[in-house]
Amino acid sequence: MKITNVTTTALVIPGFRPIQDATIPPPKSNVGSRSGLFVHIHTDEGIQGLGFGSASPAIRATIEHHLKDLLIGEDPFEIEKLWEAMFWRVRGFGRKGIAFCATSSVDVALWDLKAKALGLPLYRLLGPYRDRVPVYGSGGWTNFSETELVAEQVGYVERGMRSVKMKVGKDFGHAEREDVCRLAAVRKAVGDDVEILIDANNGYYAKQAIYMAKEFEQYRVGWFEEPVLADDVEGLAAVARATSIPIATGEHEYTKFGFKDLITRGGADIVQPDVGRVGGITEWLKVAHLAHAFNLPVAPHAVALVHLHVACATPNIRIVELLGIEEQGYHAFFVDFPQPKDGFWSPYPDRPGLGVELNPDTVKKYSV
């Protein structure tokens, strides 16, 4: 089997509410969109791999102008070889950020293709540890009113999820009392038996985060995510030492080398690689194994339909995130996709690869 072409599809679907977290400025309007970039790897045997990631024009351009030529004519089963070729191609301008996101999307498509060629669901190709994983409902955006926040979080619980996540660090960390009040309102609404996770999206300084952690501890928080700037590893470690709440971070780390430093310097109690940023499935698995070597749990960030598969093959998985905004997009992008039930989530057991396909009507109507 040889790769004959690599193409991309970008979808932007209007009419959705925009979001805001601690370090996203206020939206300019109440009308937003849900978007996605999809990578198609074509072969001479007619089997096609599907990968997906962030719908940035720069990511799309990197795939089409810097990575595509490396892939055409190659054996798609040689994923490690192809990953290394892509890594060195973007060496000078992309060890982190956009170019790594492009590599990640292509790598996911290669794994989807390989699993399809072998007639296996991706999680079975990877070697399953389990066939279902716990899942949490994620949202709690800072531009939600307290009433909207509570309604969303309670909605996840009513769907059977026993863990939910909300944002803190509102207004770049300048709304401390409001952060506490919003957390208190959610705790009161969901009761004592539901785990609440909080995410500051880099919004506090280290001393401030330590102070806020003391405030948050009384609400039995399951983890405190990105309390400070993701690159402030010393700050993350200081917060981790000062609070009983586990510190979760990693969604803004792009390499296994960065994760090595993050873990060995004590910056993470829960490791959060993002398959769309860290180099795809190939590198995500290496990061998960690295975390396992340090006896740390993994809780991946976003990209739920890919993480569902890799999580099933990961012994040290803690839980998988289902972002509400991402789920909205999935309903439009795909013909169908597996649904969580009673707080757990399973891939389709009888569909090869990722088990999803783009909705042709959506592609026709919303392609950019």
- Residues annotated catalytic, as ranges: 167, 301
β-strand pairing of 133-138 with 3-16: unpaired
E-strand ranges in 45-142 read 48-53, 133-138
β-sheet bridge partners, residue 363: none
Q: Are strands 133-138 and 344-345 parallel, antiparallel or unpaired?
A: antiparallel
Half-sphere exposure of 322 (CA within 13 A, CB side): 30
Q: How many CB atoms lie within 10 A of CB 189?
A: 16
* Tokens found for residue 127: 């070697």
> Of the candidates 235, 245, 248, which has an alpha carbon nearest to the alpha carbon of residue 204?
235
At 353, is the secondary structure helix, strand, or coil? Answer: strand
Contact 114, 125 (CB under 8 A): yes
CA distance 7 to 11: 14
136: nearest Cα among 352, 350, 326: 326
* Strand residues in the chain grouped as ranges (E): 3-16, 32-43, 48-53, 133-138, 163-167, 195-199, 221-225, 247-249, 270-271, 320-323, 344-345
Contact 26, 174 (CB under 8 A): no
**Residue 102 CB-half CA count within 13 A:** 28
* Tokens at 59, concatenated: 């990511």
115 token code pair: 């699993």
